[in-house]
């Protein structure tokens, strides 16, 4: 069963996946694809890969079979309040303006989280609405959350998560909107859970939804990068058609491109760029611009200013794809040497994300053994150890990261948080003061490097000061 698939077999399988699901696997992700196909073969009942590959290449898969295959191919990494600047734009600007725009007493909001994976994003959206809208029970709120992976949707519908799903999320989110359960698990409160409707849907088969044109906001983050360029164009247009006039379209910061989304008007917010559906790319209403004062202005991205999204090219085994399987920022890349396997790091995060923590830890230790001077790997290992409840070992791993790079801000910051949980306020204060000293060299609006997930200097400083005050650190 575990025989290595040949490049020819993987190339043919990729063509099948592209034709039936629109998903693209570049050559650098073939090792992971091969492993995932082994697990898929077992679920389909095959005892050896020869029979499975032959069946996969020759059969016309039905919808249920495609969904089963998708559950092995589309496991994605996600967590609550990802890219906090996006949620700040949502709660501070977009939702207040959307509420004001409703006429004749209408109190309805429709939001679609496309490619929702295990549910952290749509629940974050529901929490944002709950925080923003007074008397929310008087409103007709629809949050549609869709994904092609039925196993991910099953977890999402249960609404129970481990600590890994809250990494880099604000502390209030978990304390206010989740109930503690056994074994370090947290369950979303019923009031938020009932706001989200989960449905199994492939973005290549979304014509029914796209004809509705009633969505106020669509989130589609870190999804389109897995499709071919042809499907990206089709899906982008369908999403545009699904939005009401002046509706908002949200992609991840790595996907921003005037080439891929030419029909949308990009709008600049503090730390984030979102897209809006406007008539013929016209400027935004003056009332909307005035309400935000100088915080943001509508912009048109020039070719030079745009951060090009790298659309996936049709499969060509002789030409390496530019698509990166893991969303690594430039800052993150500095913490992981070029020699480190991106595919391996991606596998570590996926294993941790679906709860296979011991496997993720073992793989991370293997990578550290070959790349001993990569602080980012030690930080990743510490995150996994925290999820396993091994705080002492997590602290040791973070100290190793700081030894390699004494200016490693997120290492100091996470150590401070760990010591607070242990009641060791003296050490917590020491590491928090280290962070404040390092931040003193930066501007408030600067985005922190490595593992911060786009957090600003101001945001981290406010968290530290709040922690030091509430924990009575002198």
DSSP string for residues in 225-290: GGBBHHHHHHHHHHHHHHEEEEEEEE--GGG--TTT-TTSEEEEETTEEEEE--GGGPPPPHHHHH
pLDDT tens-place string over residues 83-116: 899 999 999 999 999 999 988 888 999 999 999 9
Instruction: Give pLDDT, residue 254.
Output: 72
Instruction: Give pLDDT, residue 244.
Output: 92
Residue 213 scores a pLDDT above 60: no
Q: What is the mean pLDDT of residues 251-279?
A: 85
Phi–psi pair at 168, nearest 5 degrees: 65, 10
The SS3 call for residue 79 is coil
Instruction: Give pLDDT, residue 354.
Output: 67
Give me Rg for the CA atoms of the chain. Answer: 23
Residue 322 scores a pLDDT above 50: no
Instruction: Give pLDDT, residue 182.
Output: 86
Instruction: Give pLDDT, residue 282.
Output: 42
Give residue 296's Cα distance to chain centre. 24
- Let me know how long the chain is: 474
Q: What percent of the chain has pLDDT over 70?
A: 80
Instruction: Give pLDDT, residue 402.
Output: 93
Q: pLDDT band for 246, please (50, 70, 90 cuts).
A: very high
Instruction: For the chain, give the mean pLDDT.
Output: 81
Distance, CA of 346 to CA of 252 (rounded, Å)? 17
Residue 184 scores a pLDDT above 50: yes
Instruction: Give pLDDT, residue 11.
Output: 93
Q: What is the mean pLDDT of residues 186-212?
A: 83
Residue 325 scores a pLDDT above 50: no
Q: pLDDT band for 275, please (50, 70, 90 cuts).
A: very high
Residue matched to tokens 């949980």:
421
Instruction: Give pLDDT, residue 142.
Output: 94
Q: What percent of the chain has pLDDT over 90?
A: 41
Q: pLDDT band for 350, please (50, 70, 90 cuts).
A: confident
Residue 283 scores a pLDDT above 80: no
Instruction: Give pLDDT, residue 147.
Output: 92
Q: What is the mean pLDDT of residues 269-288?
A: 67
Of 44-53, 65-74, 140-149, which gets the smallest average pLDDT? 65-74
Q: What is the pTM of this model?
A: 0.68
Instruction: Give pLDDT, residue 321.
Output: 30
Residue 179 scores a pLDDT above 50: yes
Instruction: Give pLDDT, residue 138.
Output: 93
Residue 265 scores a pLDDT above 60: yes
Distance, CA of 96 to CA of 132 (rounded, Å)? 8
Instruction: Give pLDDT, residue 449.
Output: 64
Task: Show the domains of the chain with their CATH numbers.
Answer: 7-73 (1.10.155), 84-298 (3.40.50.150), 330-470 (1.25.40.10)
Residue 309 scores a pLDDT above 90: no
Distance, CA of 359 to CA of 352 (rounded, Å)? 8
Q: What is the mean pLDDT of residues 259-278?
A: 88
Q: What is the mean pLDDT of residues 70-77?
A: 78
Instruction: Give pLDDT, residue 181.
Output: 93
Instruction: Give pLDDT, residue 292.
Output: 37
Q: At what angle do helices 425-439 and 457-470 cross, to 10 degrees?
A: 150
Q: CB within 8 A of 108, min separation 6: which ones? A: 102, 139, 140, 141, 142
pLDDT tens-place string over residues 381-425: 998 998 888 889 999 999 999 999 999 998 998 898 888 878 888
Residue 343 scores a pLDDT above 90: no
Instruction: Give pLDDT, residue 288.
Output: 39
Task: Report which of residues 248 and 68 the model is more confident about.
Answer: 248
Instruction: Give pLDDT, residue 444.
Output: 78
CB 216 within 8 A of CB 244: yes
Residue 316 scores a pLDDT above 80: no
Q: pLDDT band for 211, please (50, 70, 90 cuts).
A: low
């Amino acid at each position: 069963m575990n025989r290595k698939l040949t490049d020819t077999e993987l190339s043919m399988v990729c063509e099948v996946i592209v034709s039936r699901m629109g998903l693209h696997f570049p050559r650098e992700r073939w090792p992971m694809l091969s492993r995932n196909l082994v697990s898929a073969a077992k679920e389909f009942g095959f005892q050896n890969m020869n029979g499975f590959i032959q069946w996969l290449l020759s059969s016309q898969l039905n919808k249920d079979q495609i969904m089963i295959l998708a559950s092995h191919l589309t496991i994605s990494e996600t967590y609550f309040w990802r890219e906090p600047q996006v949620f700040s734009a949502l709660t501070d600007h977009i939702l207040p303006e959307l509420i004001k725009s409703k006429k004749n007493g209408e109190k309805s909001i429709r939001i679609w989280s496309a490619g929702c994976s295990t549910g952290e994003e749509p629940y974050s959206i529901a929490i944002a609405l709950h925080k923003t809208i007074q008397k929310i029970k008087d409103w007709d709120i629809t949050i549609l959350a869709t994904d092609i992976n039925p196993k991910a949707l099953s977890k999402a519908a249960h609404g129970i998560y481990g600590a890994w799903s809250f990494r880099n999320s604000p502390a209030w989110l978990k304390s206010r909107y989740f109930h503690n359960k056994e074994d370090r698990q947290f369950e979303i409160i019923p009031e938020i859970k009932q706001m989200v409707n989960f449905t199994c849907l492939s973005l290549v088969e979304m014509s029914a939804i796209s004809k509705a044109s009633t969505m106020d906001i669509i989130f589609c983050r870190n999804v389109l990068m897995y499709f071919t360029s042809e499907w990206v164009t089709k899906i982008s247009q369908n999403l545009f058609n699904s939005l009401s006039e002046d509706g908002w379209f949200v992609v991840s910061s790595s996907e921003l491109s005037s080439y891929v989304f030419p029909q949308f008007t990009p709008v600049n917010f503090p730390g984030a760029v979102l897209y809006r559906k406007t008539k013929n790319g016209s400027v935004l209403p003056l009332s909307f611009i005035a309400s935000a004062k100088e915080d943001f202005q509508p912009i048109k991205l020039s070719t030079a200013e745009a951060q090009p999204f790298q659309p996936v090219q049709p499969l060509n085994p002789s030409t390496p794809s530019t698509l990166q399987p893991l969303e690594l920022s430039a800052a993150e890349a500095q913490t992981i040497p070029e020699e480190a396997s991106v595919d391996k790091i991606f596998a570590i995060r996926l294993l941790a994300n679906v709860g296979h923590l011991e496997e993720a830890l073992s793989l991370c230790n293997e990578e550290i053994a070959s790349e001993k001077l990569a602080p980012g790997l030690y930080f990743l290992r510490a995150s996994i150890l925290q999820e396993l409840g091994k705080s002492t070992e997590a602290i040791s791993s973070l100290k190793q990261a700081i030894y390699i790079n004494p200016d490693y801000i997120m290492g100091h910051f996470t150590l401070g948080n760990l010591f607070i949980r242990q009641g060791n306020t003296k050490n917590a204060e020491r590491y928090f003061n280290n962070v404040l000293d390092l931040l003193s060299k930066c501007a408030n609006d600067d985005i922190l490097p490595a593992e911060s997930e786009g957090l600003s200097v101001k945001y981290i400083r406010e968290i530290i000061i709040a922690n030091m005050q509430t924990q009575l650190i002198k």
